[in-house]
Structure 1
Amino acid sequence: MDILSATSRERETYQVELRCSVLWEAALGIAAFTNTPLLDSLERPKSYWDGIRDSFDRDMRDHLDYVEKNNTWKALLQLLHQKDFAALEEFSTYIETLPVNDLKFICVPFVGETSQTLRESAAGGGIEAIRKLKERTKNNPFFPDYIEFICKCEGNELKNHLISVMTGWYEKVIQPNEDQLNKILQADAETKAKMKEKMKPEEFVEWATAGVVYAPEPSVHKVLLIPHYIYRPWNITADIENTKVFYYPISNESVSPEDKYLPSNFLVLKHKALGDEVRMRIVKLLYERSRTLQDITEQLSMGKSTIHHHLKLLRSAQLVNVEDSKYVLKKKAIDSLAKEMDLYFHQGM
């Protein structure tokens, strides 16, 4: 999703903070639902997503199609970072009362301190600033088009859309299970907070996200962790001023803490990902060395779309990464499987 390639920078430390809210869950649910190519890799089955779509009226479906076309889920996440909103009503009022240029400035992605003046000018409709921001984000799969859309769209229409899609999703998907969902998210955040005191920042981030390795960067002073249930098993990464954000998948223990026989969701995903001949072949190829999609398709004499599907499942299980346009096996994740199994067998004993 919205991940910018990191540049080589001098290392320094960072602080880690945790936040949780069903408002994040709503915005991430909208993001997941409208990322159609990714739906088959999510934990919830297709029937769940079909049921959600069937529950919406025509107007809400139109808003979701609009999200999918213009990636306005990103705007919702950007806006949620502005303050700790106590309820949906407060969030909606905030959007409604924001001056249009301020709204657009917040919605335009943060792409570094040196681009803040450009960001402000683009939000005001500056053609040259929009062009330069698009150029600076050209390696991101959706930022250039999203930036142009945000900067050129009619402000009040954008406000109405954001409030309507968030309200519609919240009422249909979040509200029926809001109390239970709040408990699950808070339980996971509390568990992570206790462990944070026992680990160094980098070690903790890797543990909390089940495998994301994030080295310090000079311009990043804080890492913000936000738990989600709806987008499991994926980590979603974002950048805001001075902060790296990881929306991370909650653990199974937070969903059913009383069930000592419930395995970690990532442990299950890893074994499912490895329980296929094609994916095992890919893993061995990547164990030898990092490879491009073209390399893998030629080695296995299979279509790119088929190989891409298998790679997507390996990535969702945190077994494979993409670095410099090549697929890289996370060997530590493979090596730790035996230890994870041992931990599972002994939990609750």
Structure 2
Amino acid sequence: MLQLTSRKRETYNVHLTYSLLWESALGIAAITNKKLINTLERPEKYWGEIKKSISDGLLEQLEFVEQNNTWKSLLQILHQREFKDLSEFIIYINGLQETELRFICLPFIGKDYQNYREKAAQGEKSSVEKLVQATANNSFFPTYIEFISQCDIVLLKEHLIQVMSNWYKEVLERDVAETSIILKNDYEAKKKMSNKLTPEELVQWATGGVTYAPEPSVHHVLLIPQYIYRPWNIEADMEETKVFYYPVANESITPNDKYTPNNFLVLKHKALGDEARLRIVKLLSEENRTLQEITDQLDIGKSTIHHHLKILRAAKLVEIVGSKYCLKKGAMELLFKELEVYLEK
């Protein structure tokens, strides 16, 4: 196709921030997510010891979170402004009017639904139903939307303040100095790297391989480091903004050891340290291919090829688009930059 314009493809701006308040809210989300908790980096024993050591009051609040997914409310509120500390966060919640708090807590699901979101916050049942229908495929949004739209707002305020305050004081403060340093280290590392990478490369590097292409209505990406939810990335949508709560890198945890490589860098090099997988990468650099096409080309058993592709996918070097395997966009170019940064430490 002949391109008659010289205008560059638009992309988004990347912003970075960090806070112990984000870490608190995500810790509350983690311990109340029974389906995911066994997949987190910290062992089941760690979470069990927390539950044994905290007060009955906090346990009761966490049960309420688990029933109603109010961890989402905490994150939504934290996106309203940069809070200096917990006391400022509490003052802000107490100062919100009923409709304001409901609107903030209700999820953003697109510009076309903002009017319904506003009316749902005012108690209009038909708008609540519209939001519920629009989020039917989400695992918890429908019931969460119904809860936020009809709950006692005084009790909701008390709950959000108590669960956040108690978690911060009973759990986070045990390692507050260490956690603060880790988050700051990662924030500064990503800030430094932002001068060397494009916005899309920075998102891919920070998240360990998430490819996020620009969307028409998204002008900003917000990167927030978190330690408690490693190794998972958590994504969220705000108006005009895509949010990634991404896992801090290994070198942010051990900053005094300049020889500690980024865990994603290690995964990628391990994935490439095999002749068959390098052959697959070469094939995919030429064009996207199906599993059968790769098998036929290399004359290796399909189950063996599938195993190699799983390793390449785990290292975020290969992905599936449609029915074909392909190299992740910019993955190889970014790998060279990551190695350069590591060697320059």
**TM-score greater than 0.5 by the shorter chain:** yes
Correspondence for 1:229: 227
Q: Any gaps of 5 or more consecutive residues in structure 1?
A: 1-10, 274-286, 291-298, 301-310
- 1:41 deviation in Å? 1.3
Structure 1, 188-197 or 315-324: larger mean CA deviation = 315-324
Correspondence for 2:106: 108
Structure 1, 254-263 or 136-145: larger mean CA deviation = 254-263
C-alpha contact (below 8 Å) 1:137/1:144 kept by paired residues = yes
Q: Deviations over 1:191-226 (max 9, x none)?
A: 111111111111111111111111111111111111
Q: Any gaps of 5 or more consecutive residues in structure 2?
A: 1-8, 272-287, 292-301, 304-309
Correspondence for 1:131: 129
Rounded to whole Å, the distance in 2 between the matches of 1:125 and 1:139 is 23
Rounded to whole Å, the distance in 1 between the matches of 2:62 and 2:201 is 37
Alignment of 1:277-288 (within 5 A): none
Larger radius of gyration: 2
Going from structure 1 to structure 2, the CA distance change for 1:195 and 1:343 (only over 3 Å counts) comes to closer
Q: Deviations over 1:79-101 (max 9, x none)?
A: 00111100101101111121111
Going from structure 1 to structure 2, the CA distance change for 1:191 and 1:13 (only over 3 Å counts) comes to same
Correspondence for 1:239: 237
Rounded to whole Å, the distance in 2 between the matches of 1:103 and 1:270 is 44
Alignment of 1:322-337 (within 5 A): 331-332=327-328
Amino acid of the residue matched to residue 233 of structure 2? N
Say if 2:157 is the partner of 1:159: yes
C-alpha contact (below 8 Å) 1:318/1:330 kept by paired residues = no
Going from structure 1 to structure 2, the CA distance change for 1:171 and 1:108 (only over 3 Å counts) comes to same
Alignment of 1:58-207 (within 5 A): 58-207=56-205
C-alpha contact (below 8 Å) 2:211/2:328 kept by paired residues = no
Correspondence for 2:55: 57
Going from structure 1 to structure 2, the CA distance change for 1:30 and 1:320 (only over 3 Å counts) comes to farther
C-alpha contact (below 8 Å) 1:233/1:317 kept by paired residues = no
C-alpha contact (below 8 Å) 2:234/2:245 kept by paired residues = yes
RMSD over aligned CA atoms reads 3.7
Going from structure 1 to structure 2, the CA distance change for 1:226 and 1:40 (only over 3 Å counts) comes to same
Correspondence for 1:249: 247
- 1:268 deviation in Å? 6.3
- 1:271 deviation in Å? 9.7
Amino acid of the residue matched to residue 96 of structure 1? N
- Aligned residue for 1:36, secondary structure, equals coil
C-alpha contact (below 8 Å) 1:20/1:226 kept by paired residues = yes
Amino acid of the residue matched to residue 130 of structure 2? K
Q: Deviations over 1:168-203 (max 9, x none)?
A: 110122112222222211111111111111111111
Compute the TM-score of the two structures, normalised by the length of structure 2. 0.78
Going from structure 1 to structure 2, the CA distance change for 1:232 and 1:131 (only over 3 Å counts) comes to same
Rounded to whole Å, the distance in 2 between the matches of 1:162 and 1:63 is 9
- 1:264 deviation in Å? 2.6
Correspondence for 1:34: 32
Going from structure 1 to structure 2, the CA distance change for 1:112 and 1:332 (only over 3 Å counts) comes to closer
C-alpha contact (below 8 Å) 1:12/1:217 kept by paired residues = no
Amino acid of the residue matched to residue 148 of structure 1? E
Say if 2:246 is the partner of 1:259: no
- 1:257 deviation in Å? 1.4
Going from structure 1 to structure 2, the CA distance change for 1:203 and 1:263 (only over 3 Å counts) comes to closer
Amino acid of the residue matched to residue 83 of structure 1? R
Identical amino acids, percent of aligned pairs? 52
Q: Deviations over 1:71-130 (max 9, x none)?
A: 110000000011110010110111112111100100000111221111011111111000
C-alpha contact (below 8 Å) 2:318/2:328 kept by paired residues = no
Structure 1, 225-234 or 197-206: larger mean CA deviation = 197-206
C-alpha contact (below 8 Å) 1:134/1:148 kept by paired residues = yes
Rounded to whole Å, the distance in 2 between the matches of 1:150 and 1:317 is 39
Correspondence for 2:279: none
Q: Deviations over 1:138-186 (max 9, x none)?
A: 1211111110111011101111111111111101221122222222111
C-alpha contact (below 8 Å) 1:130/1:148 kept by paired residues = yes
Amino acid of the residue matched to residue 43 of structure 1? E
C-alpha contact (below 8 Å) 1:27/1:166 kept by paired residues = yes
